[in-house]
Amino acid sequence: MYKKLIAINSAVVLLLAAVYVLGYYVMNYPMRFDLWYLLKECQLQYLIAVLCITALASYLISSLDFKKLNFKSKFLSVFPVVNILAVAFFVYIAADGFIKNKRKLTNQENYYIREAKKDIQKDQIMMRYTGGFSVSGYDQKTLSRIDSVTRKYGIISQNTGCTVDMTDIKAQEKYDEITNPYLEKRNGKGWKERMKKEIDDVKKTKNQGTE
C-alpha cells in the first residue's frame, strides 16, 4: 500500500514541478522556449517553498483524528491532494498571464498592421533595430549619406534602444509580413544586400578619409 502511495506522491510532485516551470514559460509568452533558460530563470526556490507549505499543510491535516489510519498513511494520502490544489493554482496563474499577454500581443500586432499600411502609402518603411545596423561614431555628413542610401530604398532606420520586449518583437513580424513584399516589389530581389553594400561603401570611404 505504501509503495502505491509513494508512487502517487512522486508523480504528483513531478507534475507540480513541470507545471511550475512550464507555467513560467506560458506566463512570459511569446518568449522563445529554452528549457535550460527556463530552469535558470523560473526561480525554483519558490517551488521548494511551495512544497514545504504543502507538506506542512498535509502534516497538520494528517494530525487530525479522522479515519482509522496511522499518521503515515494519512500524510501520504493528503499530500498529493494538497499538491493537486497547488497545481490547479499554478495552472490558473499561468492561464491568466497567457491570456493577458496574448491580448497585449494582438493589440500590438493590430498597431503594426495599421502602421505598415500607413508607411507603405508614405513610401517610408520603418526599419527598427537594437544594434547591428548602428551607425554611431560617424560624423553628421556620413550619417546623412547613410540616411540618403536607406531612404533611396524606402527605408527609415529607427533605434529602439537596448531594451528587448519579446511581445513587441513578435508583433513586429506582422509589420514585416506586410512591408517585405512591398519593398521587394519596389526595390527588386536582393535589395537588402545592395543597400548594405552601399552603406558599407559609405562607411569605408569615411574610414579611408580619416586614416
122-155 residue pLDDT tens: 999 998 876 544 445 677 888 889 899 999 999 9
Alpha carbon distance 78, 179 (integer Å): 58
Q: Tell me: the pLDDT tens digits for 151-208?
A: 999 999 877 666 668 888 899 999 999 999 999 999 999 999 999 999 999 888 765 5
3-state secondary structure at position 94: helix
Q: How many structural domains comprise the chain? A: 2
What torsion, rounded to 10 degrees, do the Cα atoms 200, 202, 205, 211 define? -80
In degrees and rounded to multiples of 5, residue 129 shows phi and psi of -150, 150
34 and 64: one domain? yes
Per the domain annotation, does 111 fall within a domain? no
Q: What is the pTM of this model?
A: 0.74
98 and 155: one domain? no
Residue 61's contacts (CB-CB under 8 Å, 6 or more residues apart) are 74, 78, 82
CB of 39 within 8 A of CB of 25?
A: no
Residue range(s) defining the domain that contains residue 196: 123-209
Domain final position from 103, 131, 155: 103
93 and 169: one domain? no
Of the candidates 24, 8, 81, 16, the one whose C-alpha atom is nearest the C-alpha of residue 51 is 16
Q: How crowded is residue 27: how many other Cβ atoms within 10 Å of its Cβ? A: 18
52: cell is 514545504
Domain final position from 50, 71, 103: 103
31 and 95: one domain? yes
Per the domain annotation, does 112 fall within a domain? no
Residue type, 85: L
92 and 169: one domain? no
Alpha carbon distance 31, 183 (integer Å): 28
89 and 127: one domain? no
Q: How many helices (H) and strands (E) does the chain have?
A: 7, 2
**How much of the chain, in percent, has pLDDT values that exceed 70?**
89
42 and 99: one domain? yes
Per the domain annotation, does 116 fall within a domain? no
